[in-house]
Structure 1
């Protein structure tokens, strides 16, 4: 088996990737469906921003708890239970939309519940990667996992636009419920547990240990801060302004195609990372991260769909290459027993400002003008990415051996 795909030799890694990719497909359908469900109920850009912000805030609030639990209890059970519960909440939302009794506040409430349930398992899911492969196949696993997930999401975004147009948002969200159920079955068959560190300290003590691990690495907290700015400004550009700008100019199906093209950029970036592993990963990844500005810039300045799709592709490509190198750096430099907590701080630090951006994008863009605000977002994304290269620790971070031996991987 080629070195780039060596991680696929391991049963538990295949189950982990199948579960995350399947739920990822459904989760890509849902944002498209929810956006137009809110708009069809008479919602404005501000209403849509508040609904998406409620989901994002729930994720942020719950992620730290998920990180602590992921280092204390069975990561497998946490992932299985979270996926099963998310399946149930999506069934409820799908039925509400299909039966015609859904309201915008109801969609927001279900979104909050779903966000909490999903966030409980996210740190464990990320930390589980190292436990499903031996050290020599870790780089392969870190590159393959997002490649498979984003390939599924690419299909999901495009499928979302088609389903919403053909059968409506309710059936599209019903598909997401099914994918969560499949994911729960995959996680239940894993033979590795993770977590169960045996710590007797309080949750606050565990959080403090995780925080000290984050601040011990200057490249880690600095790039988490950069991600905070990215999500503060870009979250609303995609989730609030994107469906309106692209939907009005080119049609609703075009927005699904644009998000599918974004995922295609992720896929190509993932394929590149299967064989390209530079020694100084952040020195390469951070400049490529600045390509994310191409999508909002294209939406603002071009009246041609192909230019918008090119911007979406460049965004996905640059972000995927950076993300693979970022995750590899965390996997190689953070001890196994702190990995879930560090990932929870990564999630919270990156996304804590996203609900604010989502809630304010509609009102701010209405005053500034949608196109003007999209240009402002693009400028901030470039400046924040390239500005992190001023740090010597970011520029000189090198690949190395994993920080701690993973738990034994069954054959």
Structure 2
């Protein structure tokens, strides 16, 4: 039975995966609903970028705190608390839209609050997987969890455009609020060992330990930098330009379909990694990352919605293959007691420029042309991924055999 079900044979992993999956389904609805809510309130591309960027900015700022707390406080508690707080935050957004008292500044402020809640639980969620399965099943557990969440996101994206058209953005975001409460109940069912520090040091010292751990792995800090570049450019393509360009050319439903095709690529990529175990997995994943250029280029050049869907699918395929091997490399190479902090630094380093990209995308695209800027985005993220593959530390990192222990000795606590 265990061989057949793999990581799903373990109850804690099932509850963790179910909670994350439910939350992702609701979040997918909000991504689409919030974009059209801003546009329906008379917002421009620049306004949409500022509203989405407000969420991203506070998420980045708070993630470091979430990482430190995730290594000091039981991670299950962090997940439960963040989910309940997110439910309340999204409920207020839904109430403002349904009650007719929403405004662009209000949506921006509420988005900032929800960014804080999301950031507090994010590192703990990522670092929780190794606590729910045996080490021998870690890479499969990572892939299964991502596949499940991506399938839920596909459903959310596929339905979002239709639900917004039928019910309105407020009702759709209310569904997301309910999904966070259901996720909190799932996390409450977890019974996992606690990974807590033996010594009580200052939060600054704890963060310094995580930073030192990142610095000693060249492949880690280099690819965090690559992710920074990706989110700086592509964040605006997805969060700002996509709904406008695709929505205007092919209808609002088409943008939901494009996001669903993107998630379809994620699912197929995840399924491939369940069986495919390349020796130099991180290098293979980084090569596949160059496929992310396909989506913005398709939005810029394709005369049909089919071309946009194909570009979105290839983007998701390449990004998911990279993401599975990226997570596997981190969770195999980094000691468990610093994992949440390393993930928080990964998230901050990756997303720190996303708010800037979201805020600047509208003005820059309006200046040079929306499609011209989409071409620039595609070239930057595609070429930079291929250049990263040339670095020896990325090219030569060897995937550990399942169950091997991560290196230790460089992440002992620093006394303040």
Shift of 1:202: 0.6
| Uncovered stretches (5+) of structure 2, i.e. residues with no partner | 409-416
The 1-side partners of 2:4 and 2:116 are apart by 34
Shift of 1:199: 2.9
TM-score (norm 2): 0.96
- Range with bigger deviation, 374-383 or 394-403: 394-403
Partner-residue secondary structure (3-state), 2:34 = helix
Shift of 1:13: 0.2
Using a 3 Å threshold, how does the CA distance of structure 1 residues 197 and 204 change in structure 2: closer, same or farther? same
Other-structure match for 2:414: none
Shift of 1:20: 0.3
C-alpha contact 1:55 1:112 (8 A) present in aligned 2: yes
Using a 3 Å threshold, how does the CA distance of structure 1 residues 207 and 314 change in structure 2: closer, same or farther? same
C-alpha contact 2:236 2:361 (8 A) present in aligned 1: yes
The 2-side partners of 1:158 and 1:404 are apart by 42
The 2-side partners of 1:385 and 1:60 are apart by 23
The 2-side partners of 1:225 and 1:28 are apart by 26
Partner-residue secondary structure (3-state), 1:390 = coil
Other-structure match for 2:406: 403
C-alpha contact 2:266 2:319 (8 A) present in aligned 1: yes
**Following superposition of structure 1 onto structure 2, how do residues 6-405 of structure 1 map, counting pairs within 5 Å?**
6-400=6-400, 401-403=404-406
The 2-side partners of 1:352 and 1:119 are apart by 12
The 1-side partners of 2:68 and 2:193 are apart by 15
User: How many residues of Structure 1 are paired with residues of Structure 2 in the alignment?
Assistant: 405
Partner-residue secondary structure (3-state), 2:95 = helix
1:346-395 deviation digits (Å, cap 9, x = unpaired): 00000000000000000000001000000000000011111111210100
Partner-residue secondary structure (3-state), 2:303 = coil
Shift of 1:3: 5.6
C-alpha contact 1:270 1:320 (8 A) present in aligned 2: yes
The 1-side partners of 2:202 and 2:338 are apart by 15
The 2-side partners of 1:48 and 1:358 are apart by 8
- Range with bigger deviation, 387-396 or 292-301: 387-396
Using a 3 Å threshold, how does the CA distance of structure 1 residues 196 and 2 change in structure 2: closer, same or farther? closer
Using a 3 Å threshold, how does the CA distance of structure 1 residues 375 and 384 change in structure 2: closer, same or farther? same
Shift of 1:195: 3.8
1:314-360 deviation digits (Å, cap 9, x = unpaired): 00000000000000000100000000000000000000000000000
The 1-side partners of 2:125 and 2:197 are apart by 16
TM-score (norm 1): 0.97
Runs of 4+ residues deviating >3 angstroms: 1-5
The 2-side partners of 1:111 and 1:195 are apart by 31
| Uncovered stretches (5+) of structure 1, i.e. residues with no partner | 406-411
C-alpha contact 1:70 1:194 (8 A) present in aligned 2: no
Partner-residue secondary structure (3-state), 2:359 = helix
C-alpha contact 2:233 2:357 (8 A) present in aligned 1: yes
The 2-side partners of 1:399 and 1:194 are apart by 27
Shift of 1:165: 1.0
The 2-side partners of 1:148 and 1:276 are apart by 18
The 1-side partners of 2:199 and 2:298 are apart by 50
Partner-residue secondary structure (3-state), 1:278 = coil
Partner-residue secondary structure (3-state), 1:196 = coil
- Range with bigger deviation, 3-12 or 170-179: 3-12
C-alpha contact 1:291 1:318 (8 A) present in aligned 2: yes
Partner-residue secondary structure (3-state), 2:389 = helix
Shift of 1:273: 0.8
